[in-house]
Chains A and B, each alone.
Chain A
Amino acid sequence: MTSNAPPSGQTDYVTLVSCDGFEFKVQRSSAEIAEAIRRMLDPRTGFYEAIHNRCEFSDITGLVLEKVVEYLYYNEKNKDAKEVPDMEIPPEMTLEVLMAADFLNV
C-alpha cells in the first residue's frame, strides 16, 4: 500500500500523530472513546482523517499524547470493572493533559 493510495475502508488500528512527530498506533475501539477522535474518524464525514485512519494533532505534544493514549487504553480496560483504580498523572503535566482532554472531549 503506497501512501498516495487511500486505504479502502476502516482498519483495526488508527494512527495518532503528535505535533512533534510521534506516532501512536491505537486500537480503533479505544481511540473512539474520545468524542473528538470518534467524529474525526467517522467515515460518513469524508474527513482526511477518516480516509487515511490517521489523526494529526497540531496542539498536543508527544508526551501528552502518550498520556492520552494511556488513558484511552485505561478506559477500555476498565469498561466493565467495578473498582476502577485512578490513573496516575504526573502533577507537572496536569495542565497540558487538561487542555488535551478538553480538546478531545474525553
Chain B
Amino acid sequence: MAVEVPGEIAMADVPSSPPAAVTVTAESVPALPSRKRTRHQPSARFNLTSSDDAPLFSSDDFNDASVDNYAPGRSKRQFLGPWWQHSSQTVPDDAPQPQPRGFGRNLDSGIFMGSDDTVSSEDSATSLPLPLDLRCAPRHYMSVTLSEPELRAVELIRYCLERGEERVDLSNYGIQSLSNGLLEPLHQLIKHPRHAGTDLPGPESYEVLVPALQLFLSGNSLRSIPREVWNFQSLTVLSLRNNELTELPPSIGRLHNLVELNVSGNRLRWLPWELLRLYGKNGKLRRLTTLPNPFVQGLKFTGTLQTIRQWHFPSTSDGLRDVLQSLQEDLASSTQDSAEAIQTAWLLKLHNLISAEVFREHISTSLPSEIPHLLRSIPSIRKEQPLLIAATPLSYFAFDGSPLPGFSPPSVTPENVELVPASLTLDMKQPPSHHPSSRAPSLLELTLRTLTTSSNFSNSVTLSTLRSYLPRTTSPAIIRTINLAFEVQENGGRNCSVCKRAYAIPRAEWIEYWHFVPDGAAKAASGEMFVPHLRRVCSFGCAKEGRGAEDVEVGER
C-alpha cells in the first residue's frame, strides 16, 4: 500500500524513469528523517534522468558509506598523524581544516556525457583544435611548401577523390614539376556506384568499381613525369600532350590497362621499347598519338611521302598485291643506295610483312583455294600487330656507361640531327674482341644495384649523403654513374629488354623502327609510318640474344 502510491506519482510525472525508490524510503521510514534531505539536496543539481539509483542502504557501494554521512551538518571525524597522538583536542590549529564532505557525486563521470546540464564537457567534445583541411591532408605534402598551381592540383585531386571522379584533368595548370606525394592519393580512388537510390539494384548496377583512371597532364611545362604515374595500374587514358618531355621512362610499359596515350607536342626523340608491350595483341592500347615530336628518322623521305607526307594503304588484298608489284618495279628501276631506293625498300618490307600476316592468318584457318576471297581487311592487321621494319646497328658501352670507342650511340644524337640510319637486315656490330660477351654484370653495376636497392629500404642512403661520403678526389665518372643510377631509380627503375633483370647502366643500345597505327587508319603520316623505339640491354650477352631473331617477340613480364 505504502509502496504503490508514490509509484503512481512517479509514473505520472516522469514515465521513463523508474519509481523513485528514495521517496518511498523517506516517507515510509520516519526513523531516518535525514534521508529525505540528502536526497533532495543533490536532486537540484542532477536530475532524475540519471540511470544511477541514489544510495539507499549504507551497505551500498560507496567508499565511505557510514551512517555519519546521512546526518546533516555532521562531518566524519578526521584524524591526522599516528594513533598515539590522538586525543579529542590534539588537532593542531595550523593543520589544514578538513572540509566537511558533502554527499555529492562527480557529475562528469564520463559515462553519461551530455545527459546533465554541464556545458564544459560538450565544449571539449566538439571543438578540436585542427581545421578539417589540415587533418585530411596526407603527410607527404604537409611539410613542403607548394606553389600556387600545385595547390590547385591538390584541391582538384581531393575533389576527384571525394566524388569518385575517374577523370583527373590537370591540363593547363602551369605545373612545372609534380611530386610523387601529390598524385599518390589517387591510388585510393574508388568509383561510386552509378545507382545510389533506395530501390533494389537492377542487373545493370552490378559493375566493377575499380576505377578506370584518366589522367590529363597536357599543357603544362613538365620535364619529367613523377614515378607514381607509372604505378597507377588502373590508368586507362594518359595525356602528356604539350609538355617538355625529352624521354619517356621504360616504366611506362607497366601501365598495361592503358587504352589511350597522347605524347604529342613534346621533345621526344624516340619512344621506349617497353611501350611495345602495350601495343597489339598483348596490350590494350587503341589510340596512340605521337606526332608532332622531333623523332629521329631511319630514312630520308622522298617523292610523295616528302611532299604530301602521307601514305595511303590498300584496303583489299588485290590492292595490296598491286602496291607490292609497283614497289618491286620501283626498286628494280631506282639506283642502288639512293634515297628513293631506301624508301622503296622500307615500304616494300612493310607491305610484305602485312601480306605475310594476312596470309599466315588464312592458311591456318581455311583452304588455300579460298584465300583470295577470305582475306581480312588490311587495316585490322596493321592494328593488331606492331611490325618491326628496321634497326640501327648496336652501340656498346663500357662498364661505366661511356660509349666504347668507335660507336656513336643513338641516345647521344645531337638535337639537330634527324637521320639515324637503320638497316632492314638488322645486322649488328660486334663489340671489341677483348670484351667477352657474357651476361655477368660488371662490378660497378653490382655495387650500383646494391646502392639503389638499399636506398629503397633505408632513408639514410640518399644521393646527397653518398656524395658527402665520397672523397673530393673522386673521379667525375663515378659521380656521374651514381647520379645516373639514382635518376633511374627515381624514374621507377628499368629492366633489361632481353633478360628482364633490373639494371642501372646499359651496356648496349639501338633503335628499332616499328610500324604500328593503333586505329588502323587507311592513311598514315610519314612521321608515324616508322616510329623509333629505343631498346637497351644490360650486358653484351643480352645484346647478342636480343638481335638473334628478326621477329622479336614483344616480351611480357
Binding site for B on A (CB under 8 A): 33, 35, 38, 68, 71, 74-75, 78-84, 86-87, 89, 91, 94-95, 97-102, 104-106
Contacts and interface: CB of A to CB of B under 8 A. Distances in A.
A81 B439 contact: yes
Which of B400, B434, B438, B469 has most chain A Cβ within 10 Å? B438
B441 A86 contact: yes
B466 A71 contact: no
A94 B448 CA distance: 8
Contacts of B439: 78, 81-82, 84
A28 to B, nearest CB: 14
A19 to B, nearest CB: 15
B478 A98 contact: yes
B400 to A, nearest CB: 7
Which of B440, B451, B477 has most chain A Cβ within 10 Å? B440
Contact of B443 (A38, A68, A79, A80): A68
B89 interface: no
B474 A87 contact: no
B446 A38 contact: no
B444 A95 contact: no
Contact of B449 (A79, A83, A86, A99): A86
Given A75-B440, A79-B438, A84-B439, 14 more contacts: A68-B443, A71-B443, A71-B446, A74-B440, A81-B439, A89-B450, A95-B466, A98-B444, A98-B482, A99-B474, A101-B444, A101-B447, A102-B475, A106-B399
Interface in B452-509: 454, 461, 466, 469-470, 474-475, 477-478, 482, 499
Contacts of B482: 98
A57 to B, nearest CB: 14
Nearest to A95: B469
A98 to B, nearest CB: 4
B438 A106 contact: no
Interface residues of B, number: 29
Nearest to A34: B443
Contacts of B405: none
B546 to A, nearest CB: 14
Nearest to A91: B454
A97 B436 contact: no
Interface in B407-445: 434, 436, 438-444
Nearest to A74: B440
Given A79-B436, A89-B447, A94-B447, A102 B442 contact: no
15 contacts: A78-B439, A79-B438, A81-B440, A89-B447, A91-B451, A91-B461, A98-B482, A99-B478, A101-B399, A102-B400, A102-B444, A102-B475, A102-B478, A105-B398, A106-B399
B381 to A, nearest CB: 34
Which of B444, B454, B478 has most chain A Cβ within 10 Å? B444
Which of A33, A81, A82, A102 has most chain B Cβ within 10 Å? A102
A99 B466 CA distance: 13
Contacts of B438: 75, 78-81, 84
A38 to B, nearest CB: 7
Contacts of A78: 438-440
